[in-house]
Structure 1
Amino acid sequence: MIKIATYNVENLFDLKKSGYEYKEYIPNTVSQWNQKNYTAKIKNTAKVIKDIDADIIALQEIESYEAFIDLKNQIKRDGLYYRYYALADAKNTTVKVGILSKYKILYKKEIPINATFRYRNILEVKLDVEDEPLYVFVNHWKSKSGKERERVLCAKKLYERIKEIGFDKNIIALGDFNSDYAEKYKLSRYHNNTNGRTGINDILHTDELKNKADKTSTCKNCLYNLWYDTDEAKRYTYIYGKRKEALDNIIITPKLLHNKKLHYIEGSIQTFTTDYLVVKNKINRWQMSRRKPHKHLGKGYSDHLPLTAEFLVK
């Protein structure tokens, strides 16, 4: 059995000034993004990843290779070692996506969305899982400060690449899609500039396999969102006010439902929660002072909860 996870770690910045930082993460300024708070952020993030104990974990919102390696090394000091790793760092976006793996990475590629810095590259890796090839795509689509057309563009690039590889292959697309698993039914008037079409449901065709994972032959080019394999009340990784949202997703090709050598374990998808990640029904995110200028307090974790799923390897 292997465990696969995704976790938006919320703004893991290093202590070097690159010019791309958010204002509150410019190092050694009034916001107190300094060595003390950086170390606390690294240790807290590593603790969560160590407690998840996944074999493969996708990460979002990492600023740089330096921050990525510092996190990896802290995880190792905590007792969990990832021999293989990759970061989508070909483009100088403010934050990037990465992956840590106990399984060998055969290659790493990046899928550019377009040339502007508004879009983060999608990371593609091919893994060797007990002699079974597994393609993994790590996503961090445009946030909901932008409208749906921007996420549709991300979805098109992802879907085109999956189609090139083939829907008969072992493929997992996961990460922070900034899209609910049922986005087309929840799309707000503000975000809807696509006549109701959404990236996650209409472009990736995840809506067509809803609640019928055992009938995947009806849609050869569809993808299956694992959220449909658990109770609706449990489908969340983010809390906005009092509303629970599922912005993070794990999406697979139907092959991984039927492959005898490597397949998804039914009912295994779940949000990773602990008493330190959720406090009084609120996510214990990385904390900053309320008064301006906002200052880092050196406490908390992330505004997202991790998401995990298990697969059987024979």
Structure 2
Amino acid sequence: MKKLLFSGLFVALLLAGFAQKPYKVMFYNFENLFDTIDDPEIYDSEFTPGGPKRWNSVKYGKKIRNLERVLFDLAAMDKNYPAVIGVSEIENRSVLEDVIAQPKLAPANYRIVHYDSPDARGVDVAFYYRPDVFKLEGSAAIPFTMEELPDFRTRDIVTMWGTIEDEPFYFMVAHWPSRLGGKEASAPKRRRAAEIMRRAADSVLAINPATKVVMMGDFNDDATDASIVETLGAAGNIRKIEPGGYYNPYIDVLKAGYGTLAYQDAWNLFDNIVVSENLATGSQGELKLQKAPGARFYGNIFRTPYMIQKEGQYKGYPLRTFVGNNFQGGYSDHFPVYIYIGK
């Protein structure tokens, strides 16, 4: 009973403290959040009770509770639920609903923006948003198209627009094509994804230069790779960004040796949040990018000991749900990233 009373009081304190805090904007790769039902329209049999991973309601429930734990602990860190959360590697709207229906997340009253994408595995990207902070005006999915590969199927780019404190915002979330076949061989696909996002962002700013653009996602490239720095045009020096340009705070984070996923004992930073110059510098309106108290960087990575593999071949890596077909009961193979926006 005391534990329940404490939990209820803590949630009340979270809600009471919302207006006093800068807003968090977050991205998290949920790593293969599939339901247990076989969908004949997609290649999801791996994540079914009869598949090689023996994916069932017990394992699914564990995964959902793990995601609840991460999202709530990030909120509890400064008594502030994220205002906007971009997510990737989710199968459908139903799994999104299951996450935010969990007891510790339900008080945030999250809403969902989701579109089914043509990805062969059936994984999509989506948004959660708090309607008390972000006033949604519209949303759309932008398909990935590439003239040289007319039959290539991958995730759409999901967009939504509206206002925060009456200032216009345009959010984009994406999961760019993977490095399957090698980084260089697959690079044109990611450059094309970057080109699509940049053109959409530029079009929005051309209509209303006061709109604050936020591009986020698992880009399957590091913050310093050409697809992000050159094609997307995301620069790493906030003092040198010109009007109409874009700033990526995760360039500094990567150069300092931090990452969001590990591969062959090296860290990568594929998870990025890129913002337009007017949000980075506050050149228009009052809301702008802020650093967390005591932080070195504008970009943040959320990692806690329980999210890290403690032993074995992958010691020190993110504690994932599976290694091969062996259930680890973990969280994701990526750490989430987040930024602060405030006055």
Regarding TM over 0.5, the answer is: yes
Equivalent residue in structure 2 for 1:151, among 173, 190, 193: 190
Q: Distance in 1 between matches of 2:51 and 2:222?
A: 36
Which digits, 9 at most, give the CA deviation of each residue in 1:167-213, with x for residues without a partner?
Answer: 63200000100110111xxxxxxxxxxxxxx321221112xx333x1
Question: Which residue does 1:108 correspond to in 2?
Answer: 139
Which of 112, 115, 121 in structure 2 is aligned with 1:88? 115
Q: Is the 8 A contact 1:225 1:252 kept in 2?
A: yes
Match of 2:308 in 1: 278
Root-mean-square deviation (CA, aligned residues, Å) is: 2.1
Partner of 1:186: none
Alignment match of 1:2 (pick from 8, 20, 23): 23
1:174 aligns to what?
A: 216
> In the superposition, relative to structure 1, how do residues 26 and 152 fare at CA in structure 2: closer, same or farther (>3 Å)?
same
Q: Secondary structure at the match of 2:191?
A: helix
Aligned residue for 1:44, secondary structure, equals helix
Q: Match for residue 37 of structure 1?
A: 59
Aligned AA (2:192): L
SS of equivalent to 1:244: strand
Greater Cα offset, 134-143 or 234-243: 234-243
Give me the whole-angstrom Cα distance separating, in 1, the residues matched to 2:24 and 2:261.
21
**Structure 2 vs 1, CA of residues 70 and 229 (structure 1 numbering), >3 Å: closer, same or farther?**
same
| Aligned residue-pair number | 288
Q: What is the distance in 1 between the residues matched to 2:25 and 2:64?
A: 21
Q: Does structure 1 conserve the Cα–Cα contact (< 8 Å) formed by 2:117 and 2:154?
A: no
Identity among equivalent positions (%) equals 27
**Which moved further from structure 2: 244-253 or 22-31?**
22-31
Q: Distance in 2 between matches of 1:251 and 1:86?
A: 20
Distance 1:52 1:21 in 2: 33
Moved more, 265-274 or 6-15: 265-274
4+ runs deviating over 6 angstroms: none
Deviations 1:15-70 (A, max 9, x none): 22113134421344453111111111111112111112222111000001111111
Indicate whether 1:214 and 2:244 are aligned: no
Amino acid at match of 2:159: E
**1:118 counterpart (144, 153, 156):** 153
Q: Is the 8 A contact 1:50 1:80 kept in 2?
A: no
SS at match of 2:331: coil
Equivalent positions of 1:1-314 (< 5 A) are 1-19=22-40, 20-53=42-75, 54-74=82-102, 76-78=103-105, 80-91=107-118, 93=120, 94-102=122-130, 103-114=134-145, 116=151, 118-146=153-181, 147-166=186-205, 168=209, 169-183=211-225, 198-206=226-234, 209-211=235-237, 213-217=238-242, 220-230=243-253, 232-259=255-282, 260-266=285-291, 267-280=297-310, 281-288=316-323, 294-297=325-328, 299-313=329-343
Give me the whole-angstrom Cα distance separating, in 1, the residues matched to 2:273 and 2:337: 8
Normalising by structure 1, we get a TM-score of 0.85
For structure 2, which runs of at least 5 residues remain unmatched after alignment? 1-21, 76-81, 292-296, 311-315
The answer for unaligned runs of 5 or more in structure 1 is 184-197
Residue type matched to 1:6 in 2? F
Supply the distance in 2 between the matched residues of 1:128 and 1:13 (Cα, whole angstroms).
32
Contact 1:227/1:235 (CA < 8 Å) preserved in 2?
no
User: 90-99 or 273-282: which moved more?
Assistant: 90-99
Which amino acid in structure 1 is aligned with residue 320 of structure 2?
R
Instruction: Say which SS state the counterpart of residue 166 (structure 1) adopts.
Output: helix
